[in-house]
Structure 1
């Protein structure tokens, strides 16, 4: 429960910061985060395929 409260407080702080940032900065930051998550997902998928095929 404490983790949920901390997560919601952090979420509120981030949303408050984004609300005051210029829209161009927000869109660039969102694109960078989306690319990072996409690359991470591809690396994880590729790594799991390689490990399962060897076993």
Structure 2
């Protein structure tokens, strides 16, 4: 999943709307989105594990 976040961020910097903002801002946004995805993945795994134990 991290590879996909990095790939989308690089692609966005090169071709998309992110090309109109500084690269550091794109990098920060990519890190924030990646962190959000990690938090969601951890929550889902915990929820699935709790349901499996019932």
* TM-score for the superposition, normalised by structure 1: 0.68
Runs (4+) of structure 1 moved beyond 2 Å? none
- Greater CA radius of gyration, 1 or 2? 1
Superposition CA RMSD, Å = 1.5
Number of residue pairs aligned between Structure 1 and Structure 2 = 41
* TM-score for the superposition, normalised by structure 2: 0.69
Question: Which runs of 5 or more residues in structure 1 are unaligned?
Answer: 1-11
Q: For 1:26 and 1:36, locate their aligned partners in 2 and report how far apart those are by CA, in whole Å.
A: 15
Comparing both chains, which one has the higher relative contact order based on Cα–Cα distances under 8 Å and sequence gaps of 6 or more? 2
Provide the residue aligned with 1:42 in structure 2.
Answer: 42
